[in-house]
Chain A
Amino acid sequence: MSSKKKTILKVIILGDSGVGKTSLMQQFVNRKFSQQYKATIGADFLTKELVIDNKNVTIQLWDTAGQERFQSLGVAFYRGADCCVLVYDVTNNKSYDNVVSWKDEFLVQANIKNPETFPFILIGNKIDVEENKRQINNKKAQQLCAQLGNIPYFETSAKEAVNIDQAFDVVARNALQQEESLDFGDDYTDAINIHLDGESSTCGC
């Protein structure tokens, strides 16, 4: 296609405070990992250029604050998301338990039109820890994925860069699929018809 149409994929990463959302993103985008703990305030994003099936896309990863008090303006940035990544910490039961509520919160706040088909991905982070510290095993996580509608699941270590690219590759592909299915033509047709009667000449196609 010769169209200069540019694809921007908006991906929201959600999960409890401290599960490693920022680290996952840093590892994927900048190939960096820092042991230092820095809380995220509000929402922050990183972008990365990717080629998926010969297609150039810009993936915009939105990191979010796990702590509510740092989300004072609300979560309007969920809007227009093409994919949502749910993250929990395999050494922290509570973060696993909260995955479902993060998903629900996302669906409500992002105003998703077809919640059944919207792509989610589950990531269990921190698999680098010793086995005895692990509280959530793979089987349990798979059950959750089934319960959430057979969503893809990855176990990662942001610290040791395990499975990061694989996970985000699926994230990007699913986001792209979602983006294409909701091409702007769909989304805003009504509005265009109302206001652009007879102005179709400006349109190049």
Chain B
Amino acid sequence: MNQALDSKTLEDSLLIVKQQITLMRKCLESKNPQFMDALKHASTFLSELRTNKLSPKLYYELYVLVFDGLAYLSDFLKESHQTNHLADLYELVQYAGNIVPRLYLMITIGSVYMSIENAPKLEIMKDMLEMSAGVQDPIRGLFLRYYLSQKTKELLPTETESELKETIQFTITNFIEMNKLWVRLKHQGHSSERERRLKERKELQILVGSNLVRISQLDQIDKFYYKESILPKVLEQIVQCKDSLAQEYLLDVIIQVFPDEFHLLTLDDFLQSTLHLSEGFSMNKILVTLINRLIDFQKREPANVKVIISELSTLTLQKDEHEENHTEESDSETTKPQTSSNLFEKFYDYSHLLVENKPELNFKDLSLILEAICKLSLSYYPQDYENINKVFGFALALIHQTTQHLEIWEPLLKTPICYNFDPKLVLSLDDNYKQFASALPTAIQSANALYILEKFLEQDVRLSTVEEVKTLYELLAVWFTSEDSSDSNTNSLLFGTDSSKNEPDESPEVVSQYEALAKSIHLIHHTNPYKHFELLEIAKSFMSKSGSRVRYTYPTLLFAVIKLIRKLTIVQKLNALKLKQFCQFFSATNTELLTLVSNGTLQSEGGVLAQTCMNLNLSMALILDQSSHIDLSYEFFINSFVIYEESIVDSRLQFQCLLSIIGTLHKCRNIVNGNEDNFDVLISKTALYGSKLLKKTDQCRAVYLASHLWWIIEELDEEDEIESETAKTSEDELQVVIKTDNKKVLECLQKSLRIADSCLETNVSLELFVEILSRSLYFFIHGNELITIKYLNGLIELIQNSILTIGEENTSIDTPTKHFQRTLEYIRQQAQIDSRFEEIKDR
């Protein structure tokens, strides 16, 4: 309602002003200008500015229109000043009835007068400034003085030093007066309107600030002049006005409108003055603004910054020498002597002063200030870790004083990581950082740890020294603190005391933490695999403290070892003694994982983890076979079998594991050649496991698949073909025969057929028969002499008879029947390529 009323008032006023401007222009632009009439119209529309019904924003709209209108008057006066003697006119308007129109007219004429050669500029300025004091209503006064400043801005004399001085004096005085008006508005009207007045004051703030803009536009002012003659006066006013809104805003303006190098030179003065500001002043806002501006400067013009800083340090030295003589008298109680041109130190020392002098400052503000200082250092002195250590040392001291709202410190904690493009910085920090981190709530520590780690992973930061690996994991310490015991009985101890912690259903946070932790192992890197291994050992010493959660990290660790062995094999630097160490490390780690399974803490998850353990073992066995360490390889196969026997309980897993065993054994080369007896032990055992599986179908399949273990033929890669031909490794086909035992293959197939036949469900038997037929065809194609046409025909007959027995129309055998037909179709197709197939009977 109030607003509606306001805008109605505004519209009425705007209409009047528009009409009067039109009339005024007609008077001015006619062939015989009627100047006095024009003045009258101007005076009429200026009277609208006397209103006290408008909020500053709406008043400003009116002001803008008036301003544009008066521009016509100014222009007319400028054109015709010979006919209208400006000095007389200036006097004449003093007799206008109302003070607001009078002063606007006076300034309009006065400013034109100023623009004329040989005009008594300084006197006019002084006079206008003094007269402006006649309007003491804050809003009207502020706009009037704003008008004064706008109209004179391009006319202020700066030719001589004294002129410049006057101009500055003029502007600063106007600034001080405007600031007073602005602060006074706070105390006007009823206290219930406080809120509204605050809003109004905020709207008006740019009028006050415009004076500082004006000064900043005077190019004659250099940084030294600014330091000596401008800033002290402005700061004095800011401090004295004791109004936090004004203080906050005006300091912000100073930071924004004056150039960066001015700030660098006057940093001490600026910071000192802030110590005397009133309570309620938001210290952190100003400091953060200032620091951000300096950081931007560094980013924008790094070369320039360098020059200015070195210039500053020379100045500082001179000053120190100069002050040397006065040291005895100088009061060093509150003001620390300016001993350094180091920006960081200035701010850092200042942060201490703040704490001493401003006890009302809360921790939130302090944390923000320290965060900004930290950023500043990272920007200006990216290599100076000592600075960051100092900040965290200070933060640590502060945080010890409180136990509340510790979460406010989180942004500071993250600053070294988030702000520095090189994540490794964090590894160079001293204990302060770690201690500071550990003083914060676990959740924050944990989030920070993840944050650090993700940065490292994102940028693929390699860790190649013991120090680096250790330090990184120390920073992640919060994840390893569930146990402090480091003896080998960790697990039993853990599970005895705290089993609830190890429920397999972990929170998603924990799972993602440990996924990241496992990935961190890929960051560990050394060109020398033996050194690399030492780093892995260190990593493990940390990982091992995470209880049952080692299941997330150990497999990665173990693969890292496998990879090292591969590398050493290729470069032929695999030392037997060292390899033993690798193997021991591998076995011990894998055993720890298995312990988690065997003591049952992981429940259903355990079985699958056992599968992983077994597969890890198989991978190790295969890698060792490739490196020709066939005895060690054999050991790892045997270990795999032990795991299979003892820890794989679920029948599905048993089948899967058996497939993995067969697949891996089938890839072995050296153990077959080097110690065939051992190999035979392994493959016979495997086939035996197959025949002992729980389900007949699994048994049957495992056995017929195991047959491949007696039939190992290496198909050479295409790229190898040419090479191998010249090397005469094989005459006709591009194959290397590793092991072929016709009889054993046949035995396996026969055995699987017996198992299939013993299935109670005929449709299942039938399907298995077809599968065995397919498998037999495989060996037939490969030239196993015992898999004869006769044998194949026998199988086909068996299948056909079974189908007849069950009855073709029995839908339960649809699937195997079709599979059979597909197989026969395949045989027919092959017959066209391979004449041997022609003898296979089809229907």
Contact = CB atoms under 8 A, between A and B. Distances in A.
**When A and B assemble into the complex, do they touch directly, with CB atoms less than 8 Å apart?**
yes
A196 to B, nearest CB: 8
Nearest to B73: A6
A191 B22 contact: yes
Contacts of A36: 259-261
Interface in B765-816: none
B216 interface: yes
Nearest to A77: B64
Contact of A8 (B75, B256, B257): B75
B202 interface: yes
A74 B199 CA distance: 13
A86 to B, nearest CB: 21
Interface in B204-246: 204-207, 209-210, 212-213, 216-217, 219
A80 B206 contact: no
A31 interface: no
Contacts of A3: 29, 31
A5 interface: yes
B30 A79 contact: no
Contact of A37 (B27, B68, B300): B300
B659 interface: no
Interface stretch (A42-50, A124-132, A161-169, A170-178): A42-50
B530 interface: no
A35 interface: yes
A70 B261 contact: no
A202 B79 contact: no
A49 to B, nearest CB: 10
Interface in B66-99: 68, 71-72, 75-76, 79-80
Contacts of A77: 64
A3 B31 CA distance: 6
A73 B30 contact: no
Interface in A17-57: 32, 34-42, 44-47
Interface string A118-145: 0000000000000000000000000000
Contact of A72 (B26, B203, B212): B203
B332 interface: no
B256 A204 contact: no
Contacts of B486: none
Nearest to B261: A36
A17 to B, nearest CB: 10
B301 interface: yes
A72 B22 contact: no
Contacts of B76: 4, 6
A79 B29 contact: no
A41 to B, nearest CB: 5
B678 interface: no
Interface stretch (B54-62, B272-280, B342-350, B592-600): B54-62
Contacts of B19: 188, 191-192, 195
Interface in B322-368: none
Interface stretch (B32-40, B310-318, B613-621): B32-40
A1 B27 CA distance: 17
Contact of B209 (A8, A38, A41): A41
B258 interface: yes
A73 B60 contact: yes
B245 to A, nearest CB: 12
Nearest to A22: B217
B79 A73 contact: no
Given A184-B22, A202-B26, A205-B30, A73 B207 contact: yes
A70 B26 contact: no
B31 A204 contact: yes
B15 A191 contact: yes
B25 interface: yes
Contacts of B53: none
A38 B25 contact: no
Contacts of B734: none
B319 interface: no
A52 to B, nearest CB: 16
A38 B258 CA distance: 6
A188 B213 CA distance: 36
B580 interface: no
A22 B260 CA distance: 17
B306 interface: no
A17 B64 CA distance: 23
A204 B71 contact: no
Nearest to B211: A41
B259 A37 contact: yes
Contacts of B216: 38
A44 B253 CA distance: 15
A191 B160 CA distance: 50
B60 A41 contact: no
Contact of B206 (A73, A202, A203): A73
A76 interface: yes
Contacts of B32: 204
A73 B203 contact: yes
B761 interface: no
Contacts of A196: 23
Contact of B71 (A32, A60, A202): A60
B399 interface: no
B477 interface: no
A41 B75 contact: no
B18 A70 contact: no
Nearest to A69: B252
B154 interface: yes
A6 B30 contact: no
A5 B27 contact: no
A117 interface: no
A71 interface: yes
A79 B65 contact: yes
Contacts of B80: 4
B701 to A, nearest CB: 61
Contacts of B25: 5, 184
Contact of B213 (A41, A58, A205): A41
B57 A74 contact: yes
A76 B256 contact: no
A2 interface: yes
A39 B204 contact: no
A2 B31 CA distance: 8
Contacts of A204: 26, 29-32, 34
B260 A4 contact: no
A139 to B, nearest CB: 28
A70 B256 contact: yes
Contact of B257 (A41, A46, A202): A41
A188 B22 CA distance: 7
Nearest to B15: A191
B257 A39 contact: yes
B205 A72 contact: yes
B210 A73 contact: no
A106 to B, nearest CB: 15
Contacts of A191: 15, 18-19, 22
Given A76-B64, A191-B19, A39 B256 contact: yes
Q: A-B pairs with the 4 shortest C-beta distances?
A: A204-B30, A36-B259, A42-B206, A39-B256
Given A32-B219, A60-B71, A72-B205, 15 more contacts: A6-B76, A35-B301, A37-B260, A40-B213, A41-B257, A46-B154, A47-B154, A71-B206, A73-B203, A187-B18, A188-B22, A191-B18, A191-B19, A202-B26, A205-B30
Interface of B: 15, 18-19, 21-23, 25-34, 37, 56-57, 60-61, 63-65, 68, 71-72, 75-76, 79-80, 150, 154, 202-207, 209-210, 212-213, 216-217, 219, 253, 256-261, 297, 300-301, 304
19 contacts: A8-B71, A34-B219, A37-B300, A38-B259, A41-B256, A41-B257, A44-B210, A44-B213, A45-B150, A70-B206, A70-B209, A72-B203, A72-B204, A74-B57, A184-B21, A188-B18, A188-B22, A202-B27, A202-B34
